[in-house]
Amino acid sequence: MSDLQPDGVSRAEIMIGAIARMLQGLGHVAVGNSSPIPGSAALLARALSGGSLRVSLLGSRKYNPFTDGGRELFDCAAQGRIDAFFLSGGQIDGAANINLVGLGDYPRSKVRFPGSFGSAYLYHLIPRVILFREEHTPRTLVRKVDFVSAAGSSPENEYRPGGPYALVTGRCVFAFDKTRRQFRLVSTHPGITPAEVREATGFDYLAPAAVPVTEPLSGAALALLRGEVARQVAETYPAFAARTWGVQAD
**Band (2; pLDDT cuts 50, 70, 90):** very low
Question: Residue 69: its pLDDT value, please?
Answer: 67
pLDDT digits (tens, 9 = 90+) for 171-192: 999 999 999 999 999 999 999 9
Do the Cβ atoms of 89 and 141 come closer than 8 Å?
no
Distance in angstroms (rounded) separating the CA atoms of residues 217 and 200: 25
Do the Cβ atoms of 12 and 18 come closer than 8 Å?
no
Cα angle 60, 170, 47; round to 5 = 40
Which CATH superfamily, name and number, covers 11-88+118-132+152-186+211-245? Glutaconate Coenzyme A-transferase (3.40.1080.10)
**Band (64; pLDDT cuts 50, 70, 90):** confident
pLDDT digits (tens, 9 = 90+) for 197-248: 999 999 999 999 999 999 999 999 999 999 999 999 999 999 999 999 999 8
pLDDT digits (tens, 9 = 90+) for 98-109: 999 999 988 888
Task: Give the H/E segment covering residue 174.
Answer: strand 172-177
pLDDT digits (tens, 9 = 90+) for 132-143: 999 999 999 999
pLDDT above 70 (res 7): no
Using DSSP, how many helices (H) and how many strands (E) does the chain show?
8, 12
**Residue 51, class by beta-carbon neighbours within 10 Å (0-12 exposed, 13-18 middle, 19+ buried)?**
exposed
Do the Cβ atoms of 100 and 115 come closer than 8 Å?
yes
Distance in angstroms (rounded) separating the CA atoms of residues 88 and 161: 19
Chain centroid to CA 223: 22
